[in-house]
Amino acid sequence: MKMSSLMPDVKEVLISSSEIQDKVRELGEIITRDYSGERLLLVGVLRGAVIVLGDLMRNIDLPCEIDFMDISSYGTGTSSSGVVRILKDLEEDITGRHVLVVEDIIDTGLTLSYLLRSLQARKPASLEICALLTKPSRRRVELDVKYLGFEVPDEFVVGYGLDYAGAYRNLPDICVLKPEVFAKA
Ligand code: IMP
Ligand code: MG
């Protein structure tokens, strides 16, 4: 692939696009095996999970549907505000369904634990989490993540769906930005 014009803002590539693709394929195969014979509803958390959800579902060889939720725990900055709001709820009734929540990254875990509580109350047949990334050192609540891509250090990362102030989601790799990019904001 041609080099992204956003690369001058990047300090370091943490996970390359080919490593991500290999991992997503592997996760898709495991999910396919685990849910064999079932219909699956993938719930993407907007907006960061859109890219991983799109790649993941093409690696799941089962009848599968998608739905989205938008939850906000962050402003445009890089640290948690502690405020969690549902900005957009599901279109589907998940009662009795096998629900797999797909998230880009779990940081403090506050967003996802709130979301899981809300989904569990609707009585799905099963409810699990698939997260591309996790920052274990930042976790503030216990979360059982069944399908996990990679652990990343306590650094703000962008690319493959993850943004800084709305930008950089289209970088194909998971990257750390140069400090001067944050200084400009
Ligand atoms: P949590 O509630 O602290 O777990 O925050 C999770 C959400 O914060 C994720 O869904 C991301 O949207 C965002 N987030 C957390 N860490 C990062 C990061 O390093 N880069 C980009 N977004 C992040
Ligand atoms: Mg998110």
pLDDT digits (tens, 9 = 90+) for 17-56: 999 999 999 999 999 999 999 999 999 999 999 999 999 9
- Determine whether 104 is an active site residue: no
109 lines ligand 1 (CB under 6 A): yes
User: CA–CA separation, 159 vs 54, rounded Å?
Assistant: 15
74 lines ligand 1 (CB under 6 A): yes
Cross-strand bridge partners of residue 39: none
Domain boundary assignment for the chain? 17-155
* Ligand index nearest the alpha carbon of residue 176: 1
111 lines ligand 1 (CB under 6 A): yes
* Ligand index nearest the alpha carbon of residue 111: 1
Percent of the chain with pLDDT over 90: 83
User: CA–CA separation, 131 vs 146, rounded Å?
Assistant: 8
What pLDDT shows up at residue 3?
84
Q: Which residue has the tokens 């900055």?
A: 77
User: CA–CA separation, 150 vs 81, rounded Å?
Assistant: 24
The number of C-alpha atoms within 13 Å of 108 and in the hemisphere containing its C-beta is 13
Q: Work out the average pLDDT over 122-148.
A: 95
Which atom of ligand 1 lies at the shortest distance from residue 109's CA? 4
User: CA–CA separation, 41 vs 101, rounded Å?
Assistant: 8
Cross-strand bridge partners of residue 106: 134
Question: What number does CATH give the domain 17-155?
Answer: 3.40.50.2020
What pLDDT shows up at residue 79?
58
Q: Work out the average pLDDT over 142-156.
A: 96
* Band (168; pLDDT cuts 50, 70, 90): very high
Q: What are the tokens at 180?
A: 């001067």
What pLDDT shows up at residue 171?
97
Catalytic residue among 89, 107, 144, 163: 107
Whether 77 shows a pLDDT value over 60: the answer reads no
User: CA–CA separation, 169 vs 142, rounded Å?
Assistant: 27
User: CA–CA separation, 180 vs 185, rounded Å?
Assistant: 9
Whether 158 shows a pLDDT value over 70: the answer reads yes
User: CA–CA separation, 165 vs 53, rounded Å?
Assistant: 21
B/e letters for 119-132, b = 16+ CB within 10 Å, e = fewer, are: beeeebeebbbbbb
